[in-house]
């Protein structure tokens, strides 16, 4: 079963920004919740600079053209990626154009995961690919305040069951349950 990054790994990922190429992209993807191809397709035209949100998504009716506000944790990175740009892609490839998803996964994402201290065997066991960023986002939604309807809208799902499929059980959440016993 594919998993997301743990909260410890997400924290460590933030420390890699500026040290490992495209760690900022991976970090932003964890807080945006778009599928990898959707994230790499985001353009300046899909970003509302004033209101600080993206309109994007493509796979399903629920996921298409959804509004995804930029989380405070990544706003400065999004600002840096969009500063002084008048068009084009937000998450650009090395040549400044559209990033090829396969190249992103094989040439950069894997290096970011290795820099987190996750070896290739563990990466394969956990199925850590760029899509795990969407799973990380789903895990962040578990502890987020807000109506379930809005959580489903932001990730682009129509059912709680599908959202739960993206979420991992974790020791903190499990402990919270048993610690609440009367």
Q: What is the pTM of this model?
A: 0.86
What average pLDDT score do residues 93-115 get?
A: 95
**Angle of CA points 3, 104, 38, to nearest 5°:** 70
pLDDT given for residue 34 in this prediction? 94
Asked whether the predicted pLDDT for residue 161 surpasses 70, the reply is no
Cβ–Cβ under 8 Å, residues 89 and 42 = yes
What's the rounded mean pLDDT across residues 25-34?
96
How far apart are alpha carbons 182 and 5 in whole angstroms? Answer: 32
Region 145-163: mean pLDDT is: 73
Q: How high is the pLDDT of residue 56?
A: 87
What is d(CA 145, CA 46) in angstroms, rounded to the nearest whole number? 26
Min mean pLDDT across 15-24, 133-142, 154-163 is at 154-163
């Amino acid at each position: 079963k594919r998993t997301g990054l743990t909260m410890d790994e997400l924290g460590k990922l933030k420390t890699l920004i500026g040290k490992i190429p495209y760690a900022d992209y991976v970090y932003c993807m964890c807080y945006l919740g778009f599928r990898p191809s959707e994230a790499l397709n985001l353009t300046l035209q899909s970003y509302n600079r004033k209101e600080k949100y993206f309109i994007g998504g493509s796979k399903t009716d629920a996921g298409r053209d959804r509004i995804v506000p930029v989380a405070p944790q990544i706003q400065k990175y999004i600002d840096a990626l969009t500063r002084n740009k008048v068009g084009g892609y937000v998450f650009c490839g090395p040549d400044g154009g559209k990033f090829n998803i396969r190249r992103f996964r094989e040439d950069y994402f894997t290096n970011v995961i290795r820099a987190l201290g996750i070896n290739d065997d563990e990466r394969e066991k956990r199925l850590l690919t760029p899509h795990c960023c969407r799973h990380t986002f789903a895990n962040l939604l578990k502890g987020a305040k807000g109506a379930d309807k809005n959580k489903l809208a932001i990730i682009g799902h129509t059912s709680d069951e599908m959202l739960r499929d993206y979420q991992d059980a974790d020791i903190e959440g499990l402990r919270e349950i048993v610690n609440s016993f009367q």
